[in-house]
Structure 1
Amino acid sequence: MATVIPSTTITDNVRLSHLAALDVKGADAEKFLQGQTSAQVSLADGEFAPLTCFCTPKGRMLANGQLLRLNAEHFRLILSTSLVASLAAHLNKFAAFYRAELVHNTEVTFIGASDNASSLATSLNVTLPEKPFAQSVNNLTSVIRVPGEMPRWLFCVSDASSLSVVDDEPQKAAWQLEDIRSGIAWLTEAQQDHFLPQMLNWEALGGVSFKKGCYTGQEVVARAHFRGQVKKRLVHAELKANTLPDVGASITNEVDKALGEVVTSVRKDNDSVELLAVMSTKAVEEAMSLYWEGSTVTLLPLPYPLERLDPEQQAASIKS
């Protein structure tokens, strides 16, 4: 990705190979997931696809993703390809006690669309949802409206053999740049067991239900929220550089003290990079000067407030 400049828009149906599908099936699929994930699983009803995450007992994220319901006994988790195997291995330790199975569904093709979304939806005989996190589904396809300024839809297609789909790197970069501008960071293998959900602003995006019962890590996540103990937050920033910083690269002050770390980044043009980084809230509040390897890092506004957004509220707004 270091040499790729994003397209200014998404004109083609682009294959998003960095995403994967982990299917959870069975009579106890909902009950099983309810005890493992931060989402209120019943809200995933085929019309609303909530963000969610899976945590260690210490509240650190093993994976984050989006939860879809395909039918009464079939859920699909969309997450980073790099995390499917490890998350499945972790969850299988608990799935053995339920009538539920986990399957990495490699037959699903993820397609990002914007300008061409309407015609793609027509060809797949699926309704194009209008509101962010809304889902439409038929027997072969699910489609989700993605949040952000650019109108975008994520299609999950069981059979894409008859579709025109491109593997265009500038189009993929444009998709990932819009994720950054939407303030959404998808965890990868390099960042596993590292962040509390709040450090990725997950509760501000509706990715944590504080109204559900227990799940692994729930006590730590709830304590951090109600006691205001989160001292690091996800920020959107711009960097004047012609190379991408590594995942985990330090953001420092003028005396090279680490104040944060890069989560994801994409080239904006030949001379600048946009990124998401987990930063010290003190550094942000005090408007400290920030640098990556001597280059200035400029903070940009996020498109959402840093306050709790209940997924129950999101679900109700989609149906209103």
Structure 2
Amino acid sequence: MISYRKVNHLFFKRNVFNQLLRHSHGDPPKARLFPLKNRKLLKVHGNDAPVFLQGLITNDMRHFEEGAKSMYAMFLNNKGRVLYDTLIHKWDSAESFMLECDNDVLNMLQKHLKIFKLRRKVEIEDVNQNFRLWALVSQCDDAIDTKTNTQSNVNIYKDPRLADLGFRVLSTQDTDGVQIVKNISKDIVVENDDVGYQYLRYKLGVSEGASDLPPATCFPLEVNCDYLHGVSFHKGCYIGQELTARVHHTGVVRKRIMPLKFNQTVENDMEKDTILSSSSNPKLNLGKLRGFVHDYGIGLVRIKEVLDAKVLNIGKYTAEAIKPSWWPIEAPKEKVSKLEQE
């Protein structure tokens, strides 16, 4: 018997996908392939690569030893603020990984890694002349084969953050979308840009890259790193761990990235970092807009206040903050404290 929660999730996923394909004519395709031109790759490999990365990221590299193929994580500064978000994909050995990052911070991340390399047996390579990234969003995930063979032209990884985000496709630079589709399924539309994928992310409330996450401006729990399986609270020390652990154990995160549903399509005349305010109290700062596509955006906002406000003023537009369905149901703080005592 299928549970109510599973039925509700399937309905939500289908609704999100249909929204993504709302401009399609005729029967919608089962999947879409988006080129991620703003995402780049660094290859980190060598005998000390797992231990090296373990001390720098929020997540636990031991997940790869347990069979994981991809992992979401963040690099923090010593004050616990997010510098760079990343998806780490296991490559051609237990000591070889592809690190995905925003194009605008590629050089900064590479420099960050080299600072902490010291005498470790680790190589850090820019491999973007040879490889490129795509996002594959599918209605039927079971039809996608995620077996990896790094000697092939196409490797597919399930997105470790949310099932609704589909898959990452890592291909050789000379492999185009048509060739990828031949390897996977004929019923896939190849897009020219990633606007549709960005719209999907914003509708879900998932931030990604330096545009959504300007370096050193927010904390990992504020950008839902914990909800998206990107932080481990059981591993050893890493840069920025102390503050992250303290916030987690207090259980108080007042601001988070949330999706914003506008009352109309937003024109490009609105600036990022526009202040959000309540219609009932325009002088009260409730957060900042991080990005928008069509009628959806994301903002780093004060959770309770924006949900209570109902109607938000953002520039010349009005919007509503939506609590994502994938957020966990949190127990009241007094119950959490009681459980911890037991």
- Work out whether the TM-score is over 0.5: yes
Distance 2:121 2:40 in 1: 23
Following superposition, the deviation at residue 178 of structure 1 comes to 1.6
Relative to 1, partners in 2 of residues 1:213 and 1:137: Cα closer, same or farther, differing over 3 Å? farther
Question: Residues 80 and 187 of structure 1 are in contact (CA less than 8 Å); yes or no, is this contact kept in structure 2?
Answer: yes
Question: Residues 47 and 136 of structure 1 are in contact (CA less than 8 Å); yes or no, is this contact kept in structure 2?
Answer: no
Structure having greater relative contact order (Cα 8 Å, sep ≥ 6): 1
Tell me the residue number matched to 1:98.
Answer: 120
**Equivalent residues in 2 for 1:164-313 (5 A)?**
164=178, 168-169=192-193, 172-188=194-210, 191-239=214-262, 240-244=264-268, 245-254=270-279, 255-267=282-294, 273-287=295-309, 289-306=311-328
Partner of 2:178, secondary structure, is coil
Tell me the residue number matched to 1:142.
Answer: 155
Distance 2:177 2:105 in 1: 27
Following superposition, the deviation at residue 116 of structure 1 comes to 10
Distance 2:165 2:209 in 1: 23
Tell me the residue number matched to 1:153.
Answer: 167
How many equivalent residue pairs?
285
Question: Residues 108 and 159 of structure 1 are in contact (CA less than 8 Å); yes or no, is this contact kept in structure 2?
Answer: yes
Tell me the residue number matched to 2:134.
Answer: 111
Q: Give the counterpart of 1:41 among 47, 55, 61.
A: 61
Relative to 1, partners in 2 of residues 1:12 and 1:233: Cα closer, same or farther, differing over 3 Å? closer
Counterpart AA for 1:211: H
Relative to 1, partners in 2 of residues 1:68 and 1:25: Cα closer, same or farther, differing over 3 Å? same
Following superposition, the deviation at residue 163 of structure 1 comes to 5.0
Counterpart AA for 2:219: L
Partner of 1:259, secondary structure, is strand
Relative to 1, partners in 2 of residues 1:58 and 1:115: Cα closer, same or farther, differing over 3 Å? closer
Distance 1:210 1:43 in 2: 13
Q: Which runs of 5 or more residues in structure 1 are unaligned?
A: 122-126, 130-134, 268-272, 309-320
In the superposition, the TM-score normalised over structure 2's length comes to: 0.74
Structure showing greater radius of gyration is: 2
Following superposition, the deviation at residue 53 of structure 1 comes to 0.3
Relative to 1, partners in 2 of residues 1:163 and 1:283: Cα closer, same or farther, differing over 3 Å? closer
Question: Residues 260 and 279 of structure 1 are in contact (CA less than 8 Å); yes or no, is this contact kept in structure 2?
Answer: yes
Relative to 1, partners in 2 of residues 1:232 and 1:150: Cα closer, same or farther, differing over 3 Å? closer
Relative to 1, partners in 2 of residues 1:285 and 1:161: Cα closer, same or farther, differing over 3 Å? closer
Distance 1:86 1:94 in 2: 13
Distance 2:319 2:164 in 1: 24
Following superposition, the deviation at residue 256 of structure 1 comes to 3.7
Partner of 1:22, secondary structure, is strand
Distance 1:67 1:307 in 2: 28
Percentage of pairs with the same residue: 20
Question: Residues 259 and 299 of structure 2 are in contact (CA less than 8 Å); yes or no, is this contact kept in structure 1?
Answer: yes
Counterpart AA for 2:167: W
Following superposition, the deviation at residue 55 of structure 1 comes to 0.2
Question: Residues 205 and 298 of structure 2 are in contact (CA less than 8 Å); yes or no, is this contact kept in structure 1?
Answer: yes
Partner of 1:177, secondary structure, is helix
Following superposition, the deviation at residue 204 of structure 1 comes to 0.9
Following superposition, the deviation at residue 12 of structure 1 comes to 5.0
Relative to 1, partners in 2 of residues 1:56 and 1:68: Cα closer, same or farther, differing over 3 Å? same
Distance 2:325 2:119 in 1: 41
Q: Which runs of 5 or more residues in structure 2 are unaligned?
A: 1-18, 23-27, 180-189, 331-342
In the superposition, the TM-score normalised over structure 1's length comes to: 0.79
Counterpart AA for 1:90: H
Query: Any idea what the Cα deviations from partners look like across 1:203-258, whole Å, max 9, x if unmatched?
Result: 01111000100000000110111113422111111113431443322212232432
